[in-house]
Structure 1
Amino acid sequence: MSRDDTTAAPRPFSLPALLAALKAAGEETRLRILALLTEGELNVSDLTDILGQSQPRISRHLKLLTEAGLIERHREGAWAFFRLADRNATAAAVRDVLSGLDREDVQLAGDRARLKAARQARAEAAQAHFARLAANWDRIRSLHVPEAKVEAAIREVVGARPVQAFLDLGTGTGRMLQLLAPAATRAVGIDASHAMLSVARANLEEAGVSNVLLKQGDIHALPVERNAFDLVLVHQVLHYLDDPARAIQEAASVLAPGGRLLVVDFAPHNLEFLRDEHAHRRLGFARDQLGDWLEEAGLDLVEHRDLKPPQDHPEQLTVSLWLGRDRRVITDIHQRSPEREVA
């Protein structure tokens, strides 16, 4: 069964519902907002910068689109993020309209260019932050829930099941590769930062871990073969991303049939200083939010754990683990064709 087969077709929509949706979409700014959201989730600040309009005006447009069921809104701390709705028929109809827009249109192309520039600036700021902290990144992680407790939970969730191919996304200092690669036949670590990969390489060499390939790459466009990995790990990465749901989709696409995706990140919190001082885009993730993203990617949520800090302190964070499993089944894992890396 393919992942596409897991998504049910939208129910037929009523004439009043479609008219309301088209009325909401049928205004220039709102149509531009919808076109931008086809590129991924955005917040009000993003849209005001890209469209050059005031925050109150953008908020009014977003309210109308939300009430019409065309977009979905979720709040994280002081920020609200918006994405295209995909669970109702009228939203699907409007998506079809959006897919037919001329991408060479001057107005829409300008909006995409400003979106690209905004995302590039954020990415450069995050990578500069990583480069400054590369040598002591593990120490910063230790300021939260104890890392030894997290690693023990990761080992328990992964279990003793043999792993042919392990992929670590956002590998950072390589600590997760040190933890799990020795139990795998082969392992790959992907990171966007040269500085982090340099630290990871030095750490792996010192630890004597030799079955690892490190590659620079984008978590949204992974430089590895599809349907190839028994186990994929995304450890403390999603909260840095503009579009974490898209990253989950990409991670799921490289899983072998029956493979597992383990996400480790923070539970929801209100530490706003992490945005400005540590380049966090998201203030944690709720159980159901990650569960929905896994389901949309064709995975079943088979385990969830919350690792709470030992003391109830306002600046201590809970770490959560989500384990998803690919729904496809193969009768004999040894019949799988050899995995190959994409050059």
Structure 2
Amino acid sequence: MAELAELVGVLKAAGEGTRVRLLALLADGDHSVKDLTEILNQSQPRVSRHLKLLADAGLVRRNAEGAWAYYGLAQQGDGAELAAWLIARLDENDTERRRDIARQAAVRESQQAQASAYFATVASSWDLLKTLQVPEEAVEAAVVAALGGRKVETLIDLGTGTGRMLEVLAGSYRHGFGVDSSREMLAVARARLASAGIGQAQVRLGDIGDLDVSLGPAEVIVIHQVLHYFDDPGRMLAQARRLLAPGGTMLIVDFAPHDLEFLRSEHAHRRLGLSSAQMAGWAAAAGLTVAGVEEFPSANTERGLTVCLWRLSTPL
């Protein structure tokens, strides 16, 4: 139980119109301060001040990533309980709330458009770009080893890009599906799979942020170098979880936290890496367990990136 002064502080922090709007927006996923200023049409100092009050009261959590910071609802404590109580009682048809929802959708569409535009310009050289940044050969070997030599009925590769994971894991599935939102990437993937004689895999155009559940269930889901393009990787993880069969395995490959800001400004990265603590929290929220994690440091000590392979599992 919270002390009286602490509880009053939480109530004061939540008891303001803009701060309630912020809580409602963050209930639908993490956002940067920049996103929230666009959605609320308020100044950055004003929004930052509101967020600080909410964070200090334990209603939201802050995660700094280089020059940016992302905010999300607190996951536990009195502040988390109060935030959930307030949000559950909001009228989604309220005029101001509907306007916030519409602006939130527009911000997300703009972000996805930026990523798609980037993918279109680098589709033919995407694998080369990744090879220059990370120890790809070691990571791919670890991905294959993570399946322990078994062959599953269905494997889904989300954000398949050039289809590289479908190629690497071709001996591990009877039916493979790759999903990506870039037509240019899929053109490369189709050509690559055909050239390799991999007939049991197919790729399709789709929004990996709004997945078609009819794709599943799959015994294995792969998310390779995708989550750092999302403001809210936890939301993406929860989407993918719906396609995973009971007792299934999810393999996630992504960068460990880093400070290479140029990847955000020049390469459409939204997150500067993902920490194991973050992954554990997102996994738990999606009903998954982190069964193991491996790290692969780059040989380039100046601008190299460490890559992590997380193996997530579901209850039987």
Considering the TM-score relative to the shorter chain, is it more than 0.5? yes
Aligned to 1:334: none
Aligned to 1:159: 148
Identical residues among aligned pairs (%): 47
Find out whether 1:295 has 2:280 as its counterpart.
Answer: no
Distance 2:202 2:215 in 1: 17
| Alpha-carbon shift at residue 57 of structure 1 (Å) | 1.5
One-letter identity of the residue aligned with 1:316: G
1:27 to 1, 16, 33: 16
2:313 to 321, 325, 334: 325
Secondary structure, in 3 states, of the residue corresponding to 1:143?
helix
2:77 to 84, 88, 95: 88
Distance 1:299 1:38 in 2: 20
Q: Return 5+ residue gaps in structure 2 as ranges.
A: none
Find out whether 1:198 has 2:187 as its counterpart.
Answer: yes
2:253 to 261, 264, 272: 264
Deviates more, 1:236-245 or 1:145-154: 145-154
| Alpha-carbon shift at residue 14 of structure 1 (Å) | 6.3
Distance 1:137 1:227 in 2: 27
Query: Residues 294 and 300 of structure 1 are in contact (CA less than 8 Å); yes or no, is this contact kept in structure 2?
Result: yes
| Alpha-carbon shift at residue 295 of structure 1 (Å) | 2.0
One-letter identity of the residue aligned with 2:83: V
Find out whether 1:55 has 2:31 as its counterpart.
Answer: no
**Number of residue pairs aligned between Structure 1 and Structure 2:** 316
One-letter identity of the residue aligned with 1:321: L
| Alpha-carbon shift at residue 94 of structure 1 (Å) | 2.5
Query: Residues 309 and 316 of structure 1 are in contact (CA less than 8 Å); yes or no, is this contact kept in structure 2?
Result: yes
| Alpha-carbon shift at residue 142 of structure 1 (Å) | 1.0
| Alpha-carbon shift at residue 220 of structure 1 (Å) | 2.6
Secondary structure, in 3 states, of the residue corresponding to 1:263?
strand
Aligned to 2:172: 183
Distance 1:266 1:42 in 2: 20
One-letter identity of the residue aligned with 2:197: G
Deviations 1:44-63 (A, max 9, x none): 11112222222222111111
Distance 1:49 1:139 in 2: 35
| Alpha-carbon shift at residue 158 of structure 1 (Å) | 2.1
Query: Residues 182 and 209 of structure 1 are in contact (CA less than 8 Å); yes or no, is this contact kept in structure 2?
Result: no
| Alpha-carbon shift at residue 227 of structure 1 (Å) | 6.3
One-letter identity of the residue aligned with 1:142: T
Distance 1:14 1:176 in 2: 52
Distance 2:35 2:279 in 1: 23
Secondary structure, in 3 states, of the residue corresponding to 2:221?
strand
